[in-house]
Every structure is written in structure tokens, then in C-alpha cells.
Amino acid sequence: MSRTLVLLRHAKSAWPDDVSDHERPLNKRGERDAASIGRWLRDRGLKPQRALVSSAQRTRATFDRVAAELEPPPELHVSDDAYAAGAGDLLDLVRETPDDVSQLLVIAHNPGIGTLASLIDDETSDVPERFQMRMDYRTSACAVFDVYCGWSELDPGRARLVTFTIPEA
């Protein structure tokens, strides 16, 4: 079974005073960009069944706006372990995905999410945005990969980049 992995960095957040990093909300641009990514996924026929989302407020709010554009919305799995996780930690979380899930959405933070995208990329596709993905995984950046192994077998270099986008500012 072919699998699809969608790696999304959370949308742009606000920096209010007296709010911890974990509880920072999205700003207006972040709200727009997250909905835009949801529409972008929908327009490409992607229907993630499950979403692995960091427990931070900004990642959960990103999920809410993305999921509102998808039918049906993905099943939400919030993970404290995805907050401030490195690429290896995120990869371990992806490997825990049940085999019956064919499309997985991961919403997390940089540098972990961007490094994970570069790590799993087998570099066989001719996606022109690959360089941008490797160098500038900014807020709301989204990479889509084909995975040709079971989730538990996903290793570095075992996924093919299909597309990469960042919403227009």
C-alpha cells in the first residue's frame, strides 16, 4: 500500500506578553495561511485520515483551520512529545502510526519538521521547490511525500517528495 505523509510547520503565531511559548496563539496571517493550506490539500485530493499534532496552542489552532477545509477532517492525535521534538523524535512518532492509515498529516515545529522533511527525502523527484524546502521551511510550509513502506519501516531517504508549498504572504 502506498502511503502519503504531509509535513506541515505550524502557521504564523502571535507573541503576546505573559503567554508561554506553548500557549502562543496564531496571528491573523497564521489563521489565513492555515486555512489556505487546508484548501491546497483539498484541491490536490489529499484526505489525511490521521493528524499527529504537537500539543502547542499554535499547532492545534493550525490543525483546526486546516481540518475545517477537509472532508472528512483527519482524526486528531495531540502529542506532547511532538512539541520541541527533533527530526528523530518526530520520525519515531510517525513510525507509531497504525498500518491502516494511508495518509498522515504531521503538524509540528522547526527545526524538527523541516529537518525531518530533508531527512526522509530520497531525492529522486524533480520537484523544483526542493531547495526551498531544505533551506527555508518557514511557517505554514507544507511538504507532501509518497512513502513506499510501512510507517514503522520509514527511515532516512525512504520517501519521495511529491510537492512543497508555502502560502503567499
- Each residue of 131-145: pLDDT tens digit? 999 999 999 999 999
Residue 17: count other Cβ atoms within 10 Å of its Cβ: 4
Count of domains for the chain:
1
Domain boundaries, position 43: 3-165
- Each residue of 27-69: pLDDT tens digit? 999 999 999 999 999 999 999 999 999 999 999 999 999 999 9
Q: What single letter denotes the amino acid at residue 25?
A: P
Calpha distance 44→23 (Å, rounded): 31
Instruction: State whether residue 133 is helix, strand or coil.
Output: helix
Q: Where are the beta strands (DSSP E) in the chain?
A: 3-9, 50-54, 75-79, 103-108, 142-147, 159-165
The dihedral through the CA atoms of 54, 150, 138, 70 has a sign that is negative
- Each residue of 67-76: pLDDT tens digit? 999 999 999 9
Query: What CATH number has the domain bearing residue 147?
Result: 3.40.50.1240
**Residue labelled with grid coordinates 511557517:** 139
pLDDT tier for residue 169 given thresholds of 50, 70 and 90: low
